[in-house]
Amino acid sequence: MLFGAAIAAAAIYLAGLFWLAAWRDRVRNAGWLARPGLSGWVYGLSLGVYCTSWTFFGGVGTAATAGLEFLPIYLGPILVFTFGFGLVRRILAQSRAQHSTSIADFLSARYGKSAGVAALVTVIATVGSLPYMALQLQSVGTALVMVGGNEAGALARDEIVAAVAVLMALFAVLFGSRRADRAGDNAGLVLTIAVEAVVKLVALLAVAALAIALLASGPAQPVEPLFAVTQIDARFAVLTLLAACAVLCLPRQFHMTFVEATADRATPAMQWVFPAYLVLTSLVIVPIVLAGVAVLPAGTDADAIVMALPLNVGNSALALLVFIGGFSAASGMIVVASVALSTMITNDLIAPVAFRRVLQGEADRAGLAHRLLMIRRLVICLLMLMAYLFYRGFGGATNLAGLGTLAFAAAAQFAPGLVLGVLSRAGNRAGMISGLLTGFAAWLCLLILPAATGQPPVLSIHPDALVSGVLISLGANLAAYWIGSAMFRPRLRDAVQAASFVGASLPGETHAYGTAKRVADIRLLLTQFVGMRRAAAALLAMPRSYRDADQADPELLSMAERMIAGVVGSSSARMLVASWAQGEPVPLAEVMAMFDETGRRLTFSGDLLQIAIENIDQGVALVDAEMNLVAWNRRYQQMFELPDELVNVGTPIADLIRYNMRKGQIGDVEIEDQVTRRLGHMRAGREHRMEREQHDGRIMRIVGNPAPGGGYVTSYTDITADRLAEQALESKVAERTTQLSEANAALEKATRSKTRFLAAASHDLIQPLNAARLFASALGEEVQSNEQLSRLVRDLDGSIASADRLIRTLLDISKLDGGGIEPRHEPLAVNDLLDDLVRDFAVQASARGIELRRVASSAWIESDRGLLASVLRNLVSNAVRYTRSGKVLIGVRRSGGNILLCVYDTGPGIAEADQERIFEEFQRAAGDREGLGLGLAIVRRTARLLGMPVLIRSRIGRGSLFAVGVPVLRWGA
């Protein structure tokens, strides 16, 4: 049962970590996690990747078997991050300045950007990491076997470890190689590793709490047999040294500490969060090991005490938490090591060989990122396979601490080159390679071979094989480093990079110079770099005033350094000012480093500027103070069709002006006047902007501005197409305006004619219809005795009445459209209007079985009573006509400072598609067979005449609301 739960918990835990990383990458630039204080905590906790399954399981095992020997693993990093934090700051500053993606990349940059150094570091790091990766597999496999008990009994330990290796490989591939871009930009990875650090610590604290409870309830156990001062011996010191080296040199630790650093400078969180984490972790080991020795049966595997304690007391939940904590320790190491090692192997071993032609620009780079990503994934799988094979060969006979110390000793071989590389310029590429080869060979012969064969080392200086192997390998490494650096003359690139690393100042670092230089000397120095004008302005901007004879103080020298840094870079500026202030010549290597840094910036900027100028659509010409041409672009020459023999550096601009004017057939006297006038503008440094038509009809916009140093720069833009387009547009606008004016006039004339016609025709038609109705009425009286004829006469009268209503409606529309109706506004009581409506339609509503109600209102408005009543009657008439059953409600709603005169009904409703159409002439809602389709057209026209909006809200089957918006005059009687 517990075995299955552990597998399920591990799967869920990994899925949660993957989701967390993906989420953090999505919100990387926002949210509460981006706050500086919290991000410092996250970064500091992420350094807890140092605490792998060795510290989680093996630390307790070491304490149980060797007492205080467990402490150096924590003591070394604590000493580095407290007393040696200046070294950490320097490495961080250089790592960020060099954009290093791994320790191999960093050491390569320091030692002349040597590909050989990078490749050698990668090989050693890979081989040295295999014991550590095997350690993770062994620890997780052991924990699973213990958790599973009888459930895992059917599986051999090696089979379980193999399954763990496959799972770890899959997780590392999915987690550590999701993107092909460079390392150092993985906010999700940093957050996830920080969370894993918290999980590890919580699990250990929980076991420590259990251990304290067990110790408190049982007999006292003396501490002396486990921990004694005599255990602080040579092995203790060597292990402390190894741990101090490992916290800087392990590939995964370098990656998290320097590559994934969230800032270019060291932060307080970096200095104290990680050491505090290590102190707390080391403290909880003591009660755990004491309880393990006191409670667990004799013969219990020391490396399994952390897991055995909760299992021994039957606490399955705590055992599951311990398993997840150990799994976190192993998976975090696997992922970060995979990211670091796969990047190193791909970038420094595979890519330089497999993609040489692509990297040199001789082949297509399409798909290169995808191929590199696939290679990284394959490398991760191969690393896990080799780690498993290492476990099969060494893990069965070696405890966790033994595997960990082998890995630490391998990583320590980078320490001489790393530490001396940032503190001294003496080392070079030859010394670095010599030291690495010698130290690595000693590590293989004195540590790996004895562990593999069980035989004593061939050379020993101490009874303890580890002490002997570490001291000999590091000593040989250091000796070979110095000898190689002394015997082989450094290349210029070595000297340049050494000066760049060692001479660079740290972020935020200030320098105090002692000098006998005067302010006049400072002025002269600044003039050489930034010009006389800027030098004088900088001196005037200082808080205090200086005379040229005054001695230069540190503030003035710091200002000079900042000014010069804008020209040659900060590190070069520091070298220059320091050497100049002390009266010493700048060494050649520093000069070369300065020009290397400045040259790269200037070359890159110059290339970009040249590309930009050559590809703009403007012609550009620059003349010097003597009015001679010094720079131009291809477009300038093409615009004016200038011959190649005329356009040269040093050509007087006057010759080019004359050449252009002669093509326009201008007389010599006028040409010379123009040349003199233009040269006067340039020499005076006056800005000018003008448009000129060329002899061939082109229109040029010419903009001139003075250039620094007395020259003049002029840009030429061909705006012929713009002017032609403007003219065409103006012509088209004028034509369209004329056509529109004519169309409007014709439309107004037609409208007036239509209105007059409708008014006259309607008036003339109404008279005969009235007469026809009279005749029909008389005829009806004559035929009253004949029912059939009476019905026919009634139908005739109804038809004549319908025609009469239609014609009167058309007459109303024509009056509204023709402006024949002028509204007469007066104060109106809304309640009176509503009463009139109810009175007019009460009988009709009752006949149709509809309830007609109104809601009283005390509002007063100002409007034309007849026109407004006509609008409302139309709306109520429609509501009564189309409502089959239910009710019609007339009332008022407030809307801001206005009111809405509303007519609600429970009729069939109006489809949304018809709600605008029904206000047009002769338009009715779908399915409507009553009415003429003119009522709402009159409503809209009348409301528009009154300045009132008409609103509609309706749903099929739910009824309709028509409303007219009216300003309120007042409330009350």
One DSSP character per residue, 378-412 reads HHHHHHHHHHHHHHHHHGGGS-HHHHHHHHHHHHG
The pLDDT value given to residue 604: 47
Q: Residue 268 and residue 82: Cα distance in Å, rounded? A: 11
**Cα distances (angstroms) measured from residue 876 to each of 518, 808, 881, 900:** 99, 19, 8, 15
**HSE value, Cβ hemisphere, 13 Å, CA-based, for 522:** 32
**pLDDT class of 965 with cuts at 50, 70, 90:** very high
Q: Residue 814 and residue 791: Cα distance in Å, rounded? A: 35
More confident residue, 614 or 944: 944
Summarised one tens digit per residue, pLDDT across range 709-742 is: 678 888 888 888 888 888 888 888 888 888 888 8
Give the mean pLDDT of 463-470.
Answer: 86
Summarised one tens digit per residue, pLDDT across range 55-72 is: 787 788 888 888 888 888
The pLDDT value given to residue 262: 65
The pLDDT value given to residue 582: 62
Asked if 83 and 329 count as a contact pair (C-beta separation under 8 A), the reply is no
The pLDDT value given to residue 545: 81
The pLDDT value given to residue 769: 66
Give the mean pLDDT of 77-92.
Answer: 88
Summarised one tens digit per residue, pLDDT across range 582-627 is: 665 545 445 445 555 555 554 445 555 566 676 777 888 888 888 8
On the question of pLDDT at 903 being above 90, the answer is: yes
Give the mean pLDDT of 346-350.
Answer: 80
**pLDDT class of 573 with cuts at 50, 70, 90:** low
Q: Residue 538 and residue 325: Cα distance in Å, rounded? A: 59
More confident residue, 768 or 524: 524
The pLDDT value given to residue 293: 82
Summarised one tens digit per residue, pLDDT across range 266-304 is: 567 677 888 999 999 889 888 888 888 888 777 777 777
Summarised one tens digit per residue, pLDDT across range 100-143 is: 778 888 888 888 778 888 889 999 888 888 877 887 887 777 77
Rounded mean pLDDT of the chain? 78
Strand partners, 713: 622, 705
Residue 128: strand, helix, or coil: helix
Homologous superfamily assigned to 823-971: Histidine kinase-like ATPase, C-terminal domain (3.30.565.10)
Summarised one tens digit per residue, pLDDT across range 650-659 is: 788 888 888 8
Residue 619: strand, helix, or coil: strand
The type of residue at 560 is A
Other C-beta atoms lying within 10 Å of the C-beta of residue 349 = 18
Cβ within 8 Å of residue 342, ≥6 positions away: 176, 177, 376, 377, 379, 380, 383
Summarised one tens digit per residue, pLDDT across range 854-869 is: 999 989 999 988 888 8
**pLDDT class of 759 with cuts at 50, 70, 90:** low
Summarised one tens digit per residue, pLDDT across range 793-817 is: 777 776 676 566 556 666 666 666 6
Q: Which CATH number fits domain 724-817: 3.30.420, 1.10.10, 1.10.287, 3.30.70?
A: 1.10.287
**Cα distances (angstroms) measured from residue 451 to each of 163, 442, 834, 904:** 25, 14, 106, 95
Residue 703: strand, helix, or coil: strand
On the question of pLDDT at 317 being above 80, the answer is: yes
The pLDDT value given to residue 355: 56
The pLDDT value given to residue 444: 87
Q: Residue 731 and residue 964: Cα distance in Å, rounded? A: 45
Q: What top-level class would CATH report for the domain 616-713?
A: alpha beta
**pLDDT class of 307 with cuts at 50, 70, 90:** confident
* Both tokens assigned to 368: 């290169």
**Percent of all residues in the chain with a pLDDT value above 90, rounded to a whole number:** 9
On the question of pLDDT at 524 being above 70, the answer is: yes
Backbone angles phi, psi at 963, to 5 degrees: -145, 150
Give the mean pLDDT of 824-844.
Answer: 89
Element of type H or E holding 530: helix 519-530
Asked if 413 and 443 count as a contact pair (C-beta separation under 8 A), the reply is yes
Task: Decide if domain 2-21+36-423 falls under CATH 1.10.3720.10.
Answer: no
**pLDDT class of 963 with cuts at 50, 70, 90:** very high
Most confident of 178-192, 300-314, 863-877: 863-877
Q: Residue 413 and residue 203: Cα distance in Å, rounded? A: 33
For the chain, the domains span: 2-21+36-423, 512-590, 616-713, 724-817, 823-971
The pLDDT value given to residue 507: 46
**pLDDT class of 369 with cuts at 50, 70, 90:** low
Say how many residues make up the chain. 973
Question: Is 0.85 surpassed by the pTM of this model?
Answer: no
On the question of pLDDT at 479 being above 90, the answer is: yes
